[in-house]
C-alpha cells in the first residue's frame, strides 16, 4: 500500500472537516482488493463518528407501475422497455395505508411512496396527499414521496400533508446523462430536488452505478450530491433487467461496489447513505460489509425486482451488532445551490 494514502489518516482528515481530493477519490476506486478491509475501516470511522452503529430501514411501495413516457435506459417501466412487468395506474388510498402498516411491522422508519411517470397529475396528487395525511395520524413513520418531476405548488401540497422527504435521483453524472436518457435533462432532476428543499421537505437524491459510466463519473456523482446537499443518498447498483436497453450489462463485482460505498462516505461524511436497488445481486455475500460505509438500507422488495427477505435483513443487523435507527430527519434545511 502506498503510505501516501493511509485510509485512517484520510478518514481523520474528513472527520476534521477536510475534503478529499479528486486524486484521493480515484485512489479509493482503484485501490487493490487486499486493501479493501483497511479502506472500509477508514470509512467506518467516519460512519461511526456521525451515526454510531445505527442503521435506518426504509420500505418502498410501488404505487404506480409502468406506463411511463420517459426513455431511461435502465428502467423496466420506461417507454422503451420490453420487460415483462405488471403495469397499473396509481393504487388507491387503502392500498397506500396497507403499505404503511407493513412498513410499521417491519420496523422501517421511513415509508417510501414511489410512482412511475414524468410527474404526478392532480388525481395522483390527491390520492397521495389524502393517504399521507391519514398515515401521519396513525403511524410514527417518516414518509418519503418519489413521484417524478415536481412543481413548486405540488411540493407545497406534499409538505402540508406531512411528507417528510422527497426523492428524485440524479442517477448519473451530468456528462453521462444523455447516454442514459434524452426525454428530460440533468437540470430537470436537479431542479426537482431544489424545489422539494425550498418547500421545506428533506431532499433525497442518489445514483445508479454500473451503467457504463467511468470512475470519474462516479466521483462527479458523489461531489454533485454534496453540492446539492441531499440529506439522504441512495446508492443503487444496476440490476440489469431483460427487455431494457442495458440488458446484459454486468460490469460490477462486490468488491468494487464496496469501494463505491466507501467513496460516497468519504465525500459525504454526514449524510444518510443507503444501499439501495441491486444490493442483493451485486454485493451478494458481501452485503454486511456495505454497512461499514453506509448507514441505511431498503427492506422488502424494490419497484420491479425482489429484495432479500426482511427476516434476513434483521438478522444481518443483529449479527453485525448494529441497531435500527429511529431518529428524526434534520430539523433545519438550508438553501441549495448547484
> Which residues are designated catalytic?
68, 72, 75, 112, 144, 204, 274
Known binding residue 274? Answer is yes
Cα–Cα distance for residue pair 140/119, rounded to 1 Å: 27
The Cβ of residue 22 has, within 10 Å, a number of other Cβ atoms equal to: 12
Q: Which three cell numbers stand for residue 284?
A: 451478494
Known binding residue 257? Answer is no
What residues contact residue 305 under an 8 Å CB cut-off, 6+ apart? 239, 241, 277
What residues contact residue 222 under an 8 Å CB cut-off, 6+ apart? 25, 207, 263, 264, 267, 268
Known binding residue 204? Answer is yes
Known binding residue 146? Answer is no
Helix/strand/coil percentages in the chain, nearest 5:
45, 15, 40
Using CA atoms, how far residue 15 sits from 11, 224, 337, in Å, is: 6, 20, 23
Specify whether the CB–CB gap between 287 and 256 falls below 8 A: no
Specify whether the CB–CB gap between 238 and 247 falls below 8 A: no
Q: If we measure between CA atoms, which residue out of 96, 75, 46, 72 comes closest to residue 263?
A: 46
What residues contact residue 304 under an 8 Å CB cut-off, 6+ apart? 62, 65, 76, 77, 83, 85, 241
Binding site listing: 68, 72, 75, 112, 144, 204, 274
Binding site listing for [4Fe-4S] cluster: 68, 72, 75
Binding site listing for [2Fe-2S] cluster: 112, 144, 204, 274
Amino acid at each position: 500500500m502506498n503510505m501516501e494514502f493511509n485510509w485512517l489518516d484520510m478518514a481523520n482528515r474528513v472527520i476534521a472537516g477536510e475534503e478529499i481530493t479528486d486524486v484521493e477519490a480515484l485512489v479509493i476506486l482503484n485501490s487493490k482488493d487486499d486493501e479493501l478491509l483497511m479502506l472500509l475501516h477508514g470509512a467506518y470511522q467516519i460512519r461511526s463518528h456521525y451515526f454510531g452503529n445505527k442503521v435506518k430501514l426504509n420500505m418502498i411501495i410501488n404505487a404506480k407501475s409502468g406506463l411511463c413516457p420517459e426513455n431511461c435506459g435502465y428502467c423496466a417501466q420506461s417507454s422503451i422497455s420490453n420487460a415483462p412487468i405488471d403495469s397499473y395506474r396509481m393504487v388507491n388510498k387503502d392500498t397506500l395505508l396497507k403499505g404503511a402498516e407493513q412498513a410499521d411491522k417491519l420496523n422501517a422508519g421511513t415509508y417510501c411512496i414511489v410512482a412511475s411517470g414524468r410527474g404526478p397529475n392532480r388525481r395522483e396528487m390527491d390520492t397521495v396527499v389524502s393517504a399521507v395525511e391519514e398515515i401521519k395520524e396513525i403511524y410514527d413513520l417518516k414518509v418519503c414521496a418519489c413521484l417524478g418531476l415536481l412543481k413548486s405548488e405540488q411540493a407545497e401540497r406534499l409538505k402540508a400533508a406531512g411528507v417528510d422527504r422527497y426523492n428524485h435521483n440524479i442517477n448519473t453524472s451530468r456528462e453521462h446523462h444523455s447516454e442514459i436518457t434524452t426525454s428530460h435533462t440533468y437540470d430537470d432532476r436537479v431542479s426537482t430536488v431544489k424545489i422539494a428543499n425550498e418547500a421545506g421537505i428533506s431532499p433525497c437524491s442518489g445514483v445508479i452505478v454500473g451503467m457504463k459510466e467511468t470512475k470519474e463519473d462516479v466521483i462527479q456523482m458523489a461531489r454533485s450530491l454534496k453540492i446539492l446537499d441531499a440529506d439522504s443518498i441512495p446508492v443503487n447498483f444496476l440490476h440489469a433487467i431483460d427487455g431494457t436497453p442495458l440488458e446484459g450489462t454486468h460490469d460490477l463485482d462486490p468488491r468494487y461496489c464496496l469501494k463505491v460505498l466507501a467513496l460516497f462516505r468519504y465525500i459525504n461524511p454526514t449524510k444518510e447513505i443507503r444501499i439501495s436497488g441491486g444490493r442483493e445481486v451485486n454485493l451478494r455475500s458481501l452485503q454486511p460489509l456495505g454497512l461499514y460505509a453506509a448507514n441505511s438500507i431498503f427492506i422488502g422488495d424494490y419497484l420491479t425486482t425482489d429484495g432479500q427477505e426482511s427476516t434476513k435483513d434483521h438478522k444481518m443487523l443483529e449479527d453485525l451488532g448494529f441497531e435500527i435507527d429511529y431518529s428524526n430527519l434534520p430539523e433545519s434545511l438550508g438553501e441549495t445551490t448547484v
